[in-house]
Amino acid sequence: MLFFQRSLLPIFNARQIPRIFNRIPSIPSALSIPNVRSFQNSSILMRTLNQSMKKKNKNASNAKQQQSLSLEGGPFRRGVCTRVFTVKPKKPNSAVRKVARVRLSSGRFVTAYIPGIGHNAQEHAVVLVRGGRAQDCPGVQYHIIRGVYDIAGVVGRVSSRSKYGVKKPKTT
């Protein structure tokens, strides 16, 4: 580099050359690294789904929402409860969440949340599992659908009945 810079300059005496080289800016080393941030594992070109939609980029379809792997592309999967137990939620919440370990028809084992107040889930009960995590329970990535197969709907539920498998009450 020094030889290259000296060859571009007109011929000066030995005292003038150091003064001239002090004024020539050096190329920062960060410019030579292409598209990589210093302390990041990802490249600068990665973006979220919302950012891709704003840009109207043709590659926006690559930023899809992640699907539940154990459902193997379908919306639901039938399974059999192997264990019904409770877990404590993450901080700052405090409760006892009801969950079940389920062996799906695909052969995979998942932990699924049982929504609603009270349940009749037991070991060997056949259940229908959908995707969707319980936000404050670590490792719980699936929900059991109430009112299908062996899991009864929530007793006494009046509002949001479709989410808890409750039939419309008869009015007399």
Q: Are residues 156 and 87 in the same domain?
A: yes
Domain interval for residue 23: 2-62
More confident of the two residues 64 and 115:
115
Task: Please state the rounded mean pLDDT for residues 43-72.
Answer: 71
pLDDT digits (tens, 9 = 90+) for 95-152: 999 999 999 999 999 999 999 999 999 999 999 999 999 999 999 999 999 999 999 9
The reply to whether 169 falls in a domain is no
- Count of structural domains within the chain: 2
Domain stop point among 19, 43, 62:
62
Q: Are residues 73 and 156 in the same domain?
A: yes
The reply to whether 7 falls in a domain is yes
Q: Supply the CATH number for residue 160's domain.
A: 2.40.50.140
Instruction: Give the pLDDT score at 77.
Output: 96
Q: Are residues 73 and 103 in the same domain?
A: yes
Asked whether residue 33 carries a pLDDT value surpassing 60, the answer given is no
The reply to whether 47 falls in a domain is yes
Q: Are residues 79 and 26 in the same domain?
A: no
Instruction: Give the pLDDT score at 68.
Output: 84
Q: Are residues 23 and 98 in the same domain?
A: no
pLDDT interval class at 85 (50, 70, 90)? very high
Domain stop point among 17, 36, 62:
62
Q: Are residues 140 and 74 in the same domain?
A: yes
Q: Are residues 48 and 11 in the same domain?
A: yes
Instruction: Give the pLDDT score at 20.
Output: 52
Instruction: Give the pLDDT score at 164.
Output: 94
Q: What's the farthest any 2 CA atoms get from each other in the chain?
A: 110
DSSP string, the chain: -HHHHHHHSPP--TTHHHHHHHHSPPPPGGGGS-SB-TT-SSBTT---HHHHHHHT-TTGGGSPPPPPGGGTTSSEEEEEEEEEEEEPPPTT----EEEEEEEETTS-EEEEE--SS-----TT-EEEEEE---TTSTT--EEEPTTSTTPPPPTT--SSHHHHT-PPPPP-
Q: Are residues 51 and 73 in the same domain?
A: no
pLDDT interval class at 56 (50, 70, 90)? low
Asked whether residue 80 carries a pLDDT value surpassing 60, the answer given is yes
Q: Are residues 13 and 57 in the same domain?
A: yes
Instruction: Give the pLDDT score at 55.
Output: 72
Q: Are residues 125 and 49 in the same domain?
A: no
pLDDT interval class at 168 (50, 70, 90)? very high
Asked whether residue 86 carries a pLDDT value surpassing 70, the answer given is yes
Rounded CA-CA distance 131/76 in Å is 7
How many Cα atoms sit within 13 Å of 3 on the Cβ side? Answer: 0
Instruction: Give the pLDDT score at 23.
Output: 57
Q: Are residues 73 and 113 in the same domain?
A: yes
Asked whether residue 9 carries a pLDDT value surpassing 70, the answer given is no
pLDDT digits (tens, 9 = 90+) for 67-76: 788 888 899 9
Rounded CA-CA distance 145/153 in Å is 9
Q: Are residues 95 and 35 in the same domain?
A: no
The reply to whether 97 falls in a domain is yes
